[in-house]
Amino acid sequence: MTRPATDFAALLTRLLDARVAFILVGGVAGNVHGSARATYDIDVVYARDGDNLRRLVDALGPLEPYLRGAPPGLPFRFDEQTLRAGLNFTLTTSLGDIDLLGEIIGGGSYENLLPSTLEISLFGASCRCVTLATLIRLKRAAGRPRDLEVLAELEALAEESDRS
Amino acid sequence: MCAQKARVDAISLEPNPVIEAYKKDIDRSLLRENLKLTPEQRLLKLQDFVRFLVAVQQAGRAATR
């Protein structure tokens, strides 16, 4: 079955409107910096304090989040209790796929990563995204062979940004 | 927090020979075009591209049924 295209704008707007504290990482962060590679989901590192978990549930709850790749019919409930009991969630929603990361390899938690971010303007709101240098470091830390080609593009992007 | 921050910064950015080899095949003209856009315009461009890819995948599957 073909996955529906993630509506990046609508999904991010929901998080921003609900004032969820999150940082863009992964492929979408690469695109924010100018990458030309396609990605099908949104990866965010989110703050795990109680208020933010509530905002996250308010923002995504109506979109029927479910564990991506899991068989249908599991008793999965997207609520504060579930978020508190887990850490990283790969979800599918009615607006597309989103990965909620409580921690990321090489970068740690939201608070750890915050000094390595920049603020960008997206869809009428302000959004935090990792810097290009940090994104490169995170990809290097992940150490996945499939990321080598991604890293080549991100590093080329850093060179081009320095030139322009 | 400081230890974690130090960990992010401690990850080496030294040239990696495998990454350098891949770099030769990167189409830098695409990157230069993207750098002329705002972050929001880049995301909207990604959105259009992903929608196109999904439509092509669906058409391909329908044709082979």
Q: Quote the ipTM score.
A: 0.91
pLDDT bracket for residue B10 (50, 70, 90):
confident
Compute the distance between CA of residue A71 and CA of residue A23 in angstroms, rounded to an integer.
29
pLDDT tens digits, one per residue of B44-55? 999 999 999 989
Answer whether B65 touches A (CB < 8 Å).
Answer: no
Is residue A99, in this structure, part of any structural domain at all?
yes
Is residue A140, in this structure, part of any structural domain at all?
no
- Chain A closest-CA separation from residue B65 CA (Å): 12
pLDDT tens digits, one per residue of A44-73? 999 999 999 999 999 999 999 999 999 999
Asked if the Cβ–Cβ distance from B4 to A108 is below 8 Å, we say yes
pLDDT tens digits, one per residue of A12-23? 999 999 999 999
Four-point Cα dihedral B36, B39, B45, B47, nearest 10: 170
Is residue A20, in this structure, part of any structural domain at all?
yes
Four-point Cα dihedral A62, A66, A68, A74, nearest 10: -170
Question: What is the model's pLDDT at position B1?
Answer: 46
User: Which chain A positions have a beta carbon within 8 Å of B14's beta carbon?
Assistant: none
Is residue A136, in this structure, part of any structural domain at all?
no
Compute the distance between CA of residue B31 and CA of residue B33 in angstroms, rounded to an integer.
5
Is residue A90, in this structure, part of any structural domain at all?
yes
Number of domains in chain A: 1
pLDDT tens digits, one per residue of A90-141? 999 999 999 999 999 988 999 999 999 999 999 999 999 999 999 999 999 9
Provide the residue range defining the domain that includes A92. 8-131
